[in-house]
Amino acid sequence: MFNKILVANRGEIAVRIIRACRELGVRTVAVYAKVDGKSLHVQMADEAYCIGESKIQDSYLHEDAILQMALSTHCEAIHPGYGLLSENANFAKRVEEEGLVFIGPKPAQIELLGDKEQARQTMARYGVPITPGANGLESLEAAIEEAKTIGYPVLLKAAHGGGGKGIKLVEDESQMEEAWNLARMEGLNFFKDDALYMEKYLSPVKHVEVQVLGDLYGNVRILGERDCSLQRRNQKLIEESPCAVLDEKVRENLFSVCQTAMENIGYVGAGTLEFLFDENQQFYFMEANTRLQVEHPVTEFTTGVDLVKWQIRIACGVSIEDMDVHFRGHAIECRILAENPDKDFAPDRGDISILVTPGGPFVRFDTYVYSGYTVLPYYDSMLGKLIVWDETRDGAIRKMKSSLGELIVEGIHTTSDFYIDLLGKSYFVEGNYTTKELTDGTQTTHS
């Protein structure tokens, strides 16, 4: 086991990693932006060092500063969490070149699956169904011709995109030029790459993802699926495991093709394969995430597997061959956001005067905030994640409603009450909701 790990992230995921390290007997080093000095991960780590100002480019994305800190504090490994540098193949290479361990997939795997065009081609090669589309669009004229072949509506998507950025819905040819320019601009601004590809826009669909774990010896385990279809502005709001309406034979087929593909790739670490399911439960590969997902706790509840600990163990060379997995019950996660639902979900910032978190068996609140903490305007609006588990889905829904009612956040607006209402909607209770349920007056695209 490692002696010391640098946590190259912030917020609730940094806290989550530090907790796992504590339980494994591993010391931790936190890095932080100057404005983040009072964040919980800074207080929890064994050592903490400021590496820059508020802009993430000058702190949490500052590769040189992070690597220098890891070396000067005698860390053996770096855990990137999710977002930020977690899917940066170049950073993973640099970590290895410095003689450190990157806790995640190999750089070549990040590069392969992080390029959405290459990922689609790779999955198709190993027998995974992919959404009809076109790769390597070199010009607007080429996009127009491909769309005629595929049939409208289509999605233009940034080849290196994620988080709902760089995605534009094109319903007919008259919209193509504007969508092309906007998608390229977002790709360049957010991902430093304006390459685009095209997919047939399928609707209505379910967005279902499969959790994968692989070790250094070629072993791959499938740890169930998560339904992430309730989205707003391309961002997931509620996730649950398992998917309530998935046919068992379809599930078996889904897991089988995922297993085959990831074994052929020789995948190492935690990863997710994301799919769209049409009304007939025909599934199509959409993209891969070569990292831990925000919604990983629902899988932990339904499998009994601590994914963060296993990420660390795998990086140390531990085999997953005898990992104990028990699929059981149902788990739901709600992302608690500092947003005001009554003002079109405008982000809210300020001081949290009181924070009271829910409790009870199989109730978990992953957060980085506390009473007296000031929510900053520099980062995303997620305050934390409320996760519950019960033996049945109905029980999990009731437990989540109860837990949301117990959660008290005074001083800023949150989305808690909005979720209570959402959980009571007939489409959620029945489990047959799709990505179209929350559209804000516009089409919800896939992310």
User: What domains appear along the chain, each with residue ranges and CATH number?
Assistant: 4-103 (3.40.50.20), 132-200 (3.30.1490.20), 206-430 (3.30.470.20)
Assigned token pair, 143: 């996009």
Cis amide leading into 153 (omega within 30): yes
What whole-number distance in Å separates Cα of residue 390 and Cα of residue 106? 36
Look at residues 113, 130, 447 and name the one whose alpha carbon lies nearest to residue 294.
447
Contact 314, 324 (CB under 8 A): no
E strands present in 183-234: 196-200, 206-214, 220-232
In this predicted model, what pLDDT tens digit does every residue of 378-426 receive, in sequence order?
Answer: 888 999 999 999 999 999 999 999 999 999 999 999 999 999 999 999 9
Output the pTM of the full model: 0.89
Residue with tokens 């930020």: 84
Q: Is 398 a catalytic residue?
A: no
Residues 119/124/130/132 CA torsion (nearest 10 deg):
100
Range 248-281 burial, b when 16+ CB lie within 10 A, else e: eebbeebbebbeebbeebebbbbbbbbbbbeeeb
What whole-number distance in Å separates Cα of residue 211 and Cα of residue 369? 28
Assigned token pair, 26: 């591993």
Residues 6+ apart with CB under 8 A from 23: 309
Q: What is the pLDDT of residue 116?
A: 83
Q: Which residues of the chain have pLDDT under 70?
A: 162-163, 439-447
Q: What is the pLDDT of residue 163?
A: 63
Contact 11, 80 (CB under 8 A): no
Assigned token pair, 340: 């005001």
In this predicted model, what pLDDT tens digit does every residue of 110-167 receive, in sequence order?
Answer: 999 998 889 989 999 999 999 888 887 889 999 999 999 999 999 998 887 766 778 8
What whole-number distance in Å separates Cα of residue 204 and Cα of residue 213? 30
Q: What is the pLDDT of residue 439?
A: 65
Specify the amino acid at residue 422: L
Q: What is the pLDDT of residue 262?
A: 98
Look at residues 58, 104, 114 and name the one whose alpha carbon lies nearest to residue 81.
104
Contact 384, 333 (CB under 8 A): no
Sequence-ordered alpha helix ranges (H) in 166-217: 176-191
Q: Which of 10, 226, 251, 291 is catalytic?
A: 291
